Amino acid sequence: MQSNSSSNNNNQPQTSHTSTSRSSDSGEACGAGNKWASRLLSECARAISEKDSSRIHNLLWMLNELASPYGDCDQKLASHFLQALFCKATDSGQRCFKTLTTVAEKSHSFDSARKLILKFQEVSPWTTFGHVASNGAILEALDGASKLHIIDISHTLCTQWPTLLEALATRNDETPHLKLTVVVTASIVRSVMKEIGQRMEKFARLMGVPFELNVISGLNHLGELTKERLGIQEDEAVAINCNGALRRVGVEERNSVIQMFQSLNPRVVTIVEEEADFTSSRYDFVKCFEECLRYYTLYFEMLEESFVPTSNERLMLERECSRNIVRVLACDEENDGGECERRERGSQWFERLREAFSPVGFSDDVVDDVKALLKRYRAGWALVLPQGDHDSGIYLTWKDEPVVWASAWKP
């Protein structure tokens, strides 16, 4: 369990850092060997669901002795899930999450955020996959328009847009005017948007692209966004880019947010989401826990193989996971009033989105661009097309497991 959360509750178990004989240098994948972390964590989740206080106490104590945020992959999984299980057992999830978020915000700066994102993009296509697919669909949908308005709803600090600006600058016809409206709901992002905006404007001037940046902040969640605040003009060709944004919308509000998108009459809507289902099982703690454990085991394994053991960026990404795990497993989102972390699978988003939009298949050129991107990374990554009539878009897979879904839609 991370030390920065222990100050929140003096009775919270302190993670032992002495049991690290199996270090990260061993190179073992998450869940390798006897899968002790997965087994003990699942037993503890079941004990919490059954309210078996004696079993809960014994398992939390055992996990605390074995876990370490600085150990191997099993020890890290145990550490981060232990924190969430302790919060669930003691009904302290909201308080713990707020403390973890406050600590993260205090250490957050533009330089650290930029370094983290760029390093992650260098070693893994987890985010760049969605960037390349979405940019390709947006450029094709807005081709020929002289005034473009992209509404960016994501937490990727505008790292998606330099390549799109380059593409606009090299178009054969007259370079269009681009208005970029960035919708910010996370407080941790608001603090760095001024610096990001200045850099985007400077890069656009360098590229020779007429550019306007608007930032909409002060929203507690995406459900508060209105058509009026976006300032859309009649002569603008509109694209909506949602990268990891819809999962933060309350489950009951998702359809109304999608309908609001429809009311903007966009030429294209691009959606990128991570492939997990924390929604259908949200009232069944054990099932939700097992899906959460499955997903984050894959994610931690990917980090283990992508970063060197001593990487600070890897540690920061793992701490972000820790906050999200607490939020999913130990927070009462219905009484929170803010965002959530309820992921859905591509097939589930497909059913929601097709009520308001029609799917747009990615062109061969876009698919080729994504495949070329994946060749820059180590073996294990692949692009997979969906099977059946109840899905669309494309999937990024890691060792044959789908991890990210990208799709494009039109009214």
- Strand 177-183 and strand 147-154: pairing? parallel
Mean predicted confidence (pLDDT) in 216-224: 85
Look at residues 191, 180, 352, 190 and name the one whose alpha carbon lies nearest to residue 261.
352
Angle between helices 312-330 and 73-90 (to 10 degrees): 30
User: Quick one: what percent of the chain has pLDDT higher than 90?
Assistant: 70
What is the residue type of 201?
E
pLDDT (0 to 100) of residue 334: 57
Q: 100-112, pLDDT tens digit by residue?
A: 988 888 887 888 8
Decide: residue 120, CB within 10 A, 0-12 exposed, 13-18 middle, 19+ buried. buried
Mean predicted confidence (pLDDT) in 194-220: 92
User: Quick one: what percent of the chain has pLDDT higher than 70?
Assistant: 89
**How many Å separate Cα 173 from the centre of its chain?**
36
Mean predicted confidence (pLDDT) in 269-278: 96
Mean predicted confidence (pLDDT) in 28-52: 83
pLDDT (0 to 100) of residue 27: 43
Mean predicted confidence (pLDDT) in 134-146: 96
pLDDT (0 to 100) of residue 218: 80
Give the Cα separation of 87 and 60 in Å (integer). Answer: 11
Q: 174-183, pLDDT tens digit by residue?
A: 899 999 999 9
The answer to whether the beta carbons of residues 282 and 254 sit under 8 Å apart is no
pLDDT tops 80 at residue 339: no
Vertex 171 angle, CA 170 and 173, to 5°: 135
pLDDT tops 60 at residue 343: yes
Q: 61-98, pLDDT tens digit by residue?
A: 999 999 999 888 899 999 999 999 999 999 999 999 99
Cα-flanking dihedrals φ and ψ of residue 395, to 5°?
A: -115, 140
Look at residues 394, 339, 332, 338 and name the one whose alpha carbon lies nearest to residue 369.
394
pTM score above 0.85: yes
The answer to whether the beta carbons of residues 305 and 378 sit under 8 Å apart is yes
pLDDT (0 to 100) of residue 172: 78
Match 């001024």 to its residue by tokens: 194
Mean predicted confidence (pLDDT) in 370-386: 95
pLDDT tops 60 at residue 5: no
pLDDT (0 to 100) of residue 316: 92
Which is more confident, 196 or 20? 196
pLDDT (0 to 100) of residue 15: 42
Mean predicted confidence (pLDDT) in 402-407: 97
pLDDT (0 to 100) of residue 18: 34
Q: Counting runs of H as helices and runs of E as strands, what totals does the chain give?
A: 16, 9
Mean predicted confidence (pLDDT) in 242-264: 93
Poorest-confidence range of 19-28, 181-190, 293-302, 337-346? Answer: 19-28
Poorest-confidence range of 40-49, 243-252, 359-368? Answer: 243-252
pLDDT (0 to 100) of residue 108: 77
Per the structure block, which two tokens stand in for 168?
Answer: 């606009």
